[in-house]
Structure 1
């Protein structure tokens, strides 16, 4: 005799079919699925990437990139038809930020991450929100004014950054004899310069200006040197979710062409920013102005 097998009821089958059909019709992709089901979006942020993404003394994440991500989150909420969308923040470092996206721990990384070919193998990027390049922070009384002057001296950069990769490559190829040090985060790297543990800190110049402004005695530091690299900074997204990327790209382009992004830029680069209410006084550079004339997620690096 064959064992009897209980079949699912007709109503159960119809319910399951409705879920599948309804889901496919309105939203798709792993990140959007998770956001819809949980009613929350996870934003990866940085601790000391002033003014892009940093933490105030009360542990509240703020910054230029986070303001942009807030606008993007609101558009995602509307597209998914949610009455509200909770934002959950995840603190990441240069060494952990890519994994936070690839492992599905965060839906967007909102900081000062460079969009380059190596990272695009693992993640996706939207339209750049800043274009910068590697320069050097040194003590105000230092005679160092470019990479060549660091020969036989100590130059620090942050783990997992394109700046660290660039100075290491140039040091090796040009036989400069620089002793390259690695710091776990930007704040530590600045402290190493202030204490004399390092003669300079190589990083995107905009981050250096932001870090300088946030120090107790900013006049003791200065930023020097020509651009060693050109870095298009952009919000990082999962590579396997084109639906999410399409929504984000469309809104980023709208913010730029409507000049709403200019207002957000002015808030963080031209006006006093927390916690010290000191202005960076960094007008938009020609590289970003030109790029925003025809905003795109494509970069030639």
Structure 2
């Protein structure tokens, strides 16, 4: 470790000196105080101007500052520290929640471990900091965490505060029905008109959201997710409308009890977030996620997707551009 740090210091000093020498040489040649008379021989003429001297100093300062800035990436900090710090939640399955053993688990947790493996070839070298949804962005801006993975919906307004990674999940609203429901597909529910009752979690936009897919359905709002599901189980509601990820997870936990039409609506994407202004760190996290979704770490990503959402992802197409994934 000491040897590596010594080599890093030597390399940094070399870059500073090399940059300074290149700029000074350009200054000498452009200032009119020297010219080549024969190959390799400089002849001095007159003094440089104050203006050109100032320009040189400004250029040198800016260039050296960029060299220093290049060494300040979060990527370097994390590698030196020896573990990754990820902000996440603890109360929302299947994304992030405490298992029976008290340890965090879920799809967001697996994403954090994928990035840790990319850093250290060891998925366990990650510290999860439990935070509220309101703290997802502030904790990044104050460097309490290296990245936040907490089913963060990507929006243009949030992108003004943080840098989003590649999205790792596309969310939407789905319908949960009892397995023995007389309604098979979305068209059956739409044809039933106001004869269909849909349970939904109480929200100011709940009725509008349901009516985007089922314009004439009756909408019953409930104070909790448990009460919403109880309405379906008891027959008071024909279906529940909620996040598709929650629908899929409930079906994984209760095989044979529920089903869901293929139709989903109101798409949004989830991504991790990092602090703005550090392209090296963002590039690394994107590389780790990209290779998990399409490359060498795909088996890990696929296994996690199957565990939490019950979906078998197709293998990435080999022998084609990555777009054919």
In the aligned structure 1, how far is the partner of 2:210 from the partner of 2:87? Answer: 34
Give SS of 1:67's match: helix
TM-score (norm 2): 0.56
Matches for 1:1-301 after TM superposition, within 5 Å: 24=69, 26-28=71-73, 41-50=85-94, 52-75=95-118, 87-90=127-130, 92=132, 96=133, 99-104=134-139, 106-117=145-156, 119-144=158-183, 145-146=185-186, 148=190, 151=194, 153-157=197-201, 168-169=208-209, 171=211, 176=216, 178-179=218-219, 181=221, 189-195=228-234, 198-215=237-254, 218-224=255-261, 226-239=263-276, 242-261=279-298, 263-270=299-306, 273=307, 281-284=310-313, 293-294=322-323
In the aligned structure 2, how far is the partner of 1:180 from the partner of 1:33? Answer: 51
The answer as to whether partners of 1:44 and 1:100 remain within 8 angstroms in 2 is no
Cα deviation, residue 117, structure 1? 4.0
The answer as to whether partners of 1:208 and 1:223 remain within 8 angstroms in 2 is yes
Deviates more, 1:34-43 or 1:101-110: 34-43
In the aligned structure 2, how far is the partner of 1:238 from the partner of 1:188? Answer: 38
Which structure 2 residue ranges, 5 or more long, are not aligned? Answer: 1-64
The answer as to whether partners of 1:157 and 1:189 remain within 8 angstroms in 2 is yes
Cα deviation, residue 281, structure 1? 4.6
Cα deviation, residue 34, structure 1? 9.6
Which structure 1 residue ranges, 5 or more long, are not aligned? Answer: 1-19, 79-83, 274-278, 296-301
User: What is the total number of aligned residue pairs between the two structures?
Assistant: 248
The answer as to whether partners of 1:44 and 1:106 remain within 8 angstroms in 2 is no
- Higher RCO (CA < 8 A, seq sep 6+): 1
The answer as to whether partners of 1:49 and 1:111 remain within 8 angstroms in 2 is no
CA displacement, residues 121-156 of structure 1 (integer Å, 9 cap, x when unaligned): 554422222335422012223334436357462431
The answer as to whether partners of 1:193 and 1:200 remain within 8 angstroms in 2 is yes
RMSD: 4.6
Give SS of 1:131's match: strand
Cα deviation, residue 87, structure 1? 0.2
